[in-house]
Each structure stands twice: as structure tokens, then as C-alpha cells.
Amino acid sequence: MTTQPLSQKEIEDRLRELPGWSVEDGRLVRSYRLPDHFAATALVVHVAQIQQELNHHSDLTLGYDSVGLAVRTHSADALTEKDFDLAERVEAAAPAHGAD
């Protein structure tokens, strides 16, 4: 997995594959709404597991029934494939927790 910065076109292309995700302040971000606090907490734990597997970590925000993520590859000071790979894994896991 490369840590080379992605071009603006590459970022735009990858974003088309990730509905609900956007780039804000140079970070890849997404918020999820969940049925309740337990489901939101379970998603956070699942995301933490994915992050450990990838050795790539986002900022996570837990609300009563919401979870927010923001990620950027600090070593590249830019968005990289690692960020989008993490987003794809989270996006695949989120529906099992009732996220929308």
C-alpha cells in the first residue's frame, strides 16, 4: 500500500466509489447515524479493530447515536491509498451495525 500523495483527480475518482465520504480540511471524512448508543459504540470498536489490522488510524468521534471519522496520512501530509483503503473497510463494516 503506497503512502505517496494522491493527485486531485485520483482523490475525486476514489470519492465516487465512497458515497457519503468527502474531503474536508485535507482529511477524508464520514459521519454515520446509528440506531442507538450501543450500536454506535460497537461500530467504534469494529473500526478500531480494522485500524489495528491496517496499522492506519483515524480520528474517531463517538456520539449518542453517531460515529464520525477523519483520516489523513500524516507521514505523507496528504491523502493516500491508505486513507481510502481504511474508508472502504469501514464502509463495508458499517451496515452490520445499522449505520446509515
Q: Per-residue pLDDT tens for 42-69? A: 999 999 999 999 999 999 999 999 999 9
pLDDT interval class at 3 (50, 70, 90): confident
Give how far Cα 22 sits from Cα of 18, 35, 38, 41, 46, Å: 8, 23, 26, 23, 21
pLDDT interval class at 36 (50, 70, 90): very high
pLDDT number for residue 1: 53
Average pLDDT over residues 19-39: 98
SS3 72: coil
Question: Cα–Cα distance between 28 and 70 in angstroms, integer?
Answer: 6
Question: Cα–Cα distance between 91 and 75 in angstroms, integer?
Answer: 24
Q: What is the pTM of this model?
A: 0.94
Question: Cα–Cα distance between 79 and 3 in angstroms, integer?
Answer: 8
